[in-house]
Amino acid sequence: MVKKKIEITLINDYTKSVFPTKPFKPMIHKIIHHEHIPVHQLTVIVVDDEYLRKLHRQFLHKNIYTDVMTFRLEDKGQIEAEIYISLDRAKIHTQQYHVRLKDEFARLIIHGLLHLKGLDDRTETERNQMKTREDQLLKKYWY
């Protein structure tokens, strides 16, 4: 079976420090292929808390901080999408959950990919299912 070409771009718009995004690309490719997520173009954008809060307010009408937002830009069979991740929130999570920054960032990417696959996290049950699946994918494709 021939794998379809997937265009993955990682953009670091986080201006407070340098964050290496290159190590995440192979994990993203593997998850998209092995989990059959119909993405043909994906951009992951690293931003700060304020940028993501403004997006959250604009698109979800909630003026609160969040760690990740996923947008389907086009959905005609193959998905074109963007995942925005707040590095500020990821850093806070490292303190709360006692994890490494790169591991938390990988989890947030996976969270965004799971949204593209159709999983949601609006209810407690959905959040628990999402967390379980994140753990499984982290173990399989990241660690």
Which DSSP letter does residue 2 get?
P
List, for residues 119-132, the tens digit of each pLDDT value: 999 999 999 999 99
The fold for domain 7-141 equals: Collagenase (Catalytic Domain) (3.40.390)
- Residue reference for tokens 């947030």: 108
List, for residues 19-48, the tens digit of each pLDDT value: 999 999 999 999 999 999 989 999 999 999
Which spans in 8-123 are helix H? 25-34, 49-60, 87-97, 101-117
Please report the pLDDT score of residue 3 as a whole number. 60
Domain boundaries, the chain: 7-141
pTM equals: 0.93
